[in-house]
Amino acid sequence: MKIAITGALGHIGSYIIRNMALKDSKHEFLLIDNFLTQRYVSLFNLPKNIKYKFLELDVSHSNLNNLFNDIDVIIHLAAITDAANSFNNAEEVERNNLLSTKNVAETALNTNTKIIFLSSTSVYGTQKDVVDEDCLKEELKPQSPYAETKLKEEELIKNMGNNGLSYVCCRFGTIFGTSNGMRFHTAVNKFCWQAVMGQEISVWETAYDQSRPYLDLFDASKAFEHIIENNMFKNETYNILTQNATVRNVIDVIKNYIPNVKIAFVKNKIMNQLSYEVLSSKFEKTGFKFKGSLSRGISETIQIINSSNRN
């Protein structure tokens, strides 16, 4: 099977281009990234005996028709992803992310290629305790420009689905777990980094006991395999998450490895009073089992950075 991955060098991409390849060495990978985040390192030491082709391209405006012509599945990851910072570059986030999704999805439609589209559970903003994919429209209240754009991208994909596009829309929880191109501006990874470096863990003032969905990178990669192997391109949206947790839960796990962590409560524009759990039962009903855990991802993350701050 030929798989094209946009944004292939990022936190998620750099993991799946290794792990999905090892699962089935017959897959061939077309890797596309514009080096927006300079993760050249993600291309180093890829598994041997697997066919990769890397192209440096901006998918928001490049002509992709010839590239996707013989591709079976596109995993579209390319995006500007720092939600908290998106208040400072909202226009660019909307331009890059919406145009990228529009161009990639239109090409998928033209070339009759199936697409996995990456959305985020940050499209939710509900007053309820629990939310699922069938929620009312008013429970989709994105709390950042990044998440607002994700919702617009979802809408665009859905409309194109009505015109013949075959897609799966994955609302991922916040990723944790290590990869070659991992980033540290999301909660779990950032907290691990700060704890190992002896810094105070910076927690948004309202967030300590608010519940949010998290996704182990291990489960994320398995979810892609599950979707492709079961040919689930029936234009459905799925919440994909390993578990819901509060920041207190996350820090309690970190304390198992680094007992003396200190917390600093800070303000951020993305803060709100909402606390909700996201259900993943729709995806589990397709036969998928989440096997990752916060303790797995946190211990792995602390382990890889620990050597840089030995006292």
Residues that bind ligand NAD in the complex, under the rule CB under 6 A: 6-7, 9-13, 32-37, 39, 58-60, 77-81, 96, 100, 118, 120, 172, 174-175, 183, 186
The helix (H) or strand (E) run that includes residue 172 is strand 167-172
Task: Give CA–CA dist 293/251, Å, rounded.
Answer: 14
Q: Find the residue with minimal CB distance to ligand NAD.
A: 10
Task: Give CA–CA dist 102/97, Å, rounded.
Answer: 9
Task: Give CA–CA dist 190/200, Å, rounded.
Answer: 11
- Based on CB atoms, which residue is closest to ligand NAD, 10 or 262? 10
Q: What's the CA dihedral at 63, 69, 74, 79 to 10 degrees?
A: 0
Task: Give CA–CA dist 78/179, Å, rounded.
Answer: 16
In the complex, least distance from residue 217 CB atom to ligand NAD, rounded to whole angstroms? 9
- Based on CB atoms, which residue is closest to ligand NAD, 175 or 228? 175
Angle, helix 217-229 to helix 294-306, in steps of 10 degrees: 120
In the complex, least distance from residue 197 CB atom to ligand NAD, rounded to whole angstroms? 21
E strands, the chain, are 2-6, 28-33, 51-56, 73-76, 114-120, 130-131, 167-172, 174-176, 201-204, 211-216, 236-240, 243-246, 263-266, 277-278
- Based on CB atoms, which residue is closest to ligand NAD, 49 or 135? 135
> How many angstroms separate the Cα of 103 from the Cα of each of 6, 131, 223?
12, 31, 24
In the complex, least distance from residue 70 CB atom to ligand NAD, rounded to whole angstroms? 20
- Based on CB atoms, which residue is closest to ligand NAD, 26 or 105? 105
- Based on CB atoms, which residue is closest to ligand NAD, 78 or 254? 78
- Based on CB atoms, which residue is closest to ligand NAD, 32 or 192? 32
Angle, helix 187-196 to helix 294-306, in steps of 10 degrees: 40
- Based on CB atoms, which residue is closest to ligand NAD, 144 or 174? 174
In the complex, least distance from residue 41 CB atom to ligand NAD, rounded to whole angstroms? 11
- Based on CB atoms, which residue is closest to ligand NAD, 104 or 309? 104
> What tokens appear for 297 in the block?
């991802």
Task: Give CA–CA dist 189/194, Å, rounded.
Answer: 9
In the complex, least distance from residue 304 CB atom to ligand NAD, rounded to whole angstroms? 16
Q: What is the DSSP string of 244-263?
A: EEEHHHHHHHHHHHSTT--E
In the complex, least distance from residue 153 CB atom to ligand NAD, rounded to whole angstroms? 9
In the complex, least distance from residue 213 CB atom to ligand NAD, rounded to whole angstroms? 9
In the complex, least distance from residue 259 CB atom to ligand NAD, rounded to whole angstroms? 27
